[in-house]
Amino acid sequence: MVEQVVIDRRFRGPPDSAQGGYTCGLVAERLGEPCVAVSLRAPPPLERSLELRSTDAGTVVLVDGERVVAEAAPAGLRLDVPAPVALDVARRAAERCPWMETHPFPGCFGCGPERSQDEAVAILTGPVDGGEVFAGPWTPLAEFAGADGALSPLFVWSALDCPTAAPAVPPDAAPSVLARLTGRLLAPVRPEEVHTVVAWPVSHDGRKHRGGAAIYAPDGELCAYAEGLWIELREPAAMGAVARATSGRGER
């Protein structure tokens, strides 16, 4: 399989590269496995022709010329997923989102405070009752649905990305980018229905931070969950990060 794709600027994370989850979704949905790990090798460029290729090793890669941008492979993932939270609790938690004023990439398709759920994923999460678990509401757009009426996996991956960073990257860390996202899709996500997203920290190792995220349907059914690996940038300005006094995170 060789397929040409172009990532529109609408789906940006940093100003000049694609949101990590959207990019992961491009390769993951072509692989067609229920659980996939996607590694991001380079910032995904916007508005130019890229190639999706299947490999003899059973992976799918996104390439820019001969440079591998992302690679998807079958994976196994088991996480201790927190229970769903009530919608009103999630809404109150989102109002406490710690990145509202300090987001280094405010135009991010997945979580930028300059975006809205009227035109993007734009999931904001905040701490539930002052704890480590974060939550927030998400109403997927109708245009994100596929032919079967359920959300395209592309946009489920887009939604799973940013929440994995929110509780995992410390407030005093440098802006961070997604290096790998491992996701398991379990049940359809329906457009125009208010879902809840929960997120939680998993581990820390120097500049590396891992977090989990899950999407719950209105009836409490677990639709999908993921683990994200985030790495603090050594040169945030090179990715177009907005300068701020202390904390931050972002998208590769």
CATH number of residue 25's parent domain = 3.10.129.10
- The residue ranges of DSSP E strands in 111-194, in sequence order, are 126-127, 134-138, 176-185
Which residues constitute the domain of residue 16? 2-74
Show which of 53, 74, 95 is a domain's final residue: 74
d(CA 129, CA 138): 19
The answer to whether 14 and 239 have CB atoms below 8 angstroms apart is yes
**Chain length of the chain:** 252
Judge if 114 and 22 occupy the same domain: no
At residue 17, φ and ψ (nearest 5 deg) are -145, 160
Residue 105 belongs to a domain: yes
Nearest to 238 by CA among 91, 42, 102: 42
Judge if 43 and 95 occupy the same domain: no
Tens of each residue's pLDDT in the chain, 252 residues: 799 999 999 999 999 999 999 999 999 999 999 999 999 999 999 999 999 999 999 999 999 999 999 999 999 998 999 999 999 999 999 999 988 888 999 999 999 999 999 999 999 999 999 899 999 999 999 999 999 999 999 999 999 999 999 999 987 899 999 999 999 999 999 999 999 999 999 999 999 999 999 999 999 999 999 999 999 999 999 899 987 644 333 443
Count of CA atoms in the C-beta half-sphere (13 A) of 232 = 16
Burial of 57 (0-12, 13-18, 19+ CB in 10 A): exposed
Dihedral sign, Cα of residue 161, residue 162, residue 167, residue 170: positive
Judge if 44 and 91 occupy the same domain: no
Confidence (pTM)? 0.94
Nearest to 12 by CA among 153, 118, 111: 111
Dihedral sign, Cα of residue 171, residue 176, residue 178, residue 182: negative
Nearest to 252 by CA among 136, 126, 104: 104
Residue 249 belongs to a domain: no
Q: Three-state DSSP class for 99?
A: coil
Show which of 44, 74, 104 is a domain's final residue: 74
What lies within 8 Å, CB to CB, of 142 at 6+ separation is 191, 192
* Residue 101: predicted pLDDT: 85
Judge if 68 and 123 occupy the same domain: no
At residue 192, φ and ψ (nearest 5 deg) are 60, 20
The answer to whether 218 and 194 have CB atoms below 8 angstroms apart is yes
Residue 244 belongs to a domain: no
Show which of 74, 102, 130 is a domain's final residue: 74
**Number of folded domains that form the chain:** 2
The CA dihedral of 76, 80, 81, 86, to the nearest 10 degrees, is 170
The answer to whether 81 and 214 have CB atoms below 8 angstroms apart is yes
Judge if 175 and 136 occupy the same domain: yes
Residue 82 belongs to a domain: no
* Residue 130: predicted pLDDT: 86
Judge if 24 and 117 occupy the same domain: no
Report the amino acid identity of residue 219.
D
* Residue 243: predicted pLDDT: 74
What lies within 8 Å, CB to CB, of 83 at 6+ separation is none
Judge if 203 and 107 occupy the same domain: yes
